[in-house]
Amino acid sequence: MTAPADRPRRWNRLLALLADTGRLSVEEAADRLGVSPATIRRDFTALADQQLATRTHGGIVATAVAYDLPARYRGGDEAKQRVAEHAAALVDMTVVGLNGGTTTTAVARALAGRPDLPTSAGRQPTIVTNALNIAGEMVLRPHLRTICLGGMARRESYELHGPLAERALAELHLDTLVLGVDAISAAGGAQCRHLGESGVNAEMVRRANRVIVAATADKLGRTALARICPIEDIDVLVTDTAADRAAVAEIRAAGVRVDLV
């Protein structure tokens, strides 16, 4: 039997395969993932229950959510997946904020696949996001409550930004924010490329009790146009083992916990 922690990774790989083919059989999926047909049947049923795929005799077919996104959002990057799964495991599933991006999309999927989520009515964890693609996936999960912020959409990142999004955030409280960034360093803090997104992301940081940055190693030590927050506002950085050791040491010296995965 596979461990529960393996499920989010398998489900993301299954969704990525569906994005390429539109249809999967139990035998094909078991062969591609190296697990038993019984495990794949359970996975197919779980994906169908979450409306991420449609069950057919002997397989599944993709829904629009599974294959309409660009390839970079479909998973497959092992380092990014490790970062996402580790960050998701750190989250206390009460009210969780997520900004847009490929890493936070992977985090959202890992969160939704956690086996310890409460399922009774009135106890669902709440996802708050300004990312249309994340909201579109999470709203299909019956065990989650999803709040999508308003605003103007950016096609490059699916993020909503502007005064409407910031005004909505001013009325909300986030227990944990999982923040995706374009760059992070001890001197520059968390940064992104787009001014509008930086304003919403900064407001998310202000509304959160705890801030976890999920970023692959290539984001460390870089600079981007707009600062989201100083390094002191970040509680945990989750990155992969390819991260530059000097950059990691500087961030740790600033008081941030850094988890290398």
Q: For position 16, which CATH number holds?
A: 1.10.10.10
Residue 236 has pLDDT above 80, yes or no: yes
Within 8 A by CB and 6+ apart from 206, the residues are none
Rounded distance between C-alpha atoms, residue 9 and residue 109, angstroms:
9
What mean pLDDT comes out for the span 149-168? 92
Q: What is the pLDDT of residue 140?
A: 78
Same domain, 151 and 54: no
Band (5; pLDDT cuts 50, 70, 90): low
Same domain, yes or no, for 88 and 23? no
Question: At 2, is the pLDDT very low, low, confident or very high (cuts 50, 70, 90)?
Answer: low
Q: At what angle do helices 78-90 and 7-21 cross, to 10 degrees?
A: 140
Residues 145 and 207 in one domain: yes
Q: Which domain holds residue 52?
A: 4-68
Helices (H), 26-149: 26-33, 37-49, 64-67, 78-90, 102-112, 132-138
Residue 117: what pLDDT? 78
Q: What is the mean pLDDT of residues 159-188?
A: 96
pLDDT range class, residue 123, cuts 50, 70, 90: confident
Taking a C-beta distance cutoff of 8 angstroms, is the pair 261, 83 a contact?
A: yes
| pLDDT tens readout for residues 11-41 | 878 877 887 778 899 999 999 999 999 999 9
User: What is the count of structural domains for the chain?
Assistant: 2
Q: pLDDT confidence of 70, banded at 50, 70, 90?
A: low
What CATH number does residue 210 fall under? 3.40.50.1360
Q: Are the C-beta atoms of 9 and 85 separated by less than 8 Å?
A: yes
How far is Cα 228 from Cα 1, in angstroms, rounded to an integer?
Answer: 43
* Cα–Cα distance, 256 to 143 (Å, whole number): 32
Looking at 40, 68, 96, which one is the last position of a domain? 68
Q: Which of 68, 91, 115 is the last residue of a domain?
A: 68
Residue after which a domain boundary falls, among 68, 88, 113: 68
Residues 251, 154 within the same domain: yes
Q: Which residues contact 210 (CB under 8 A, 6 or more apart)?
A: 175, 176, 177, 235, 236
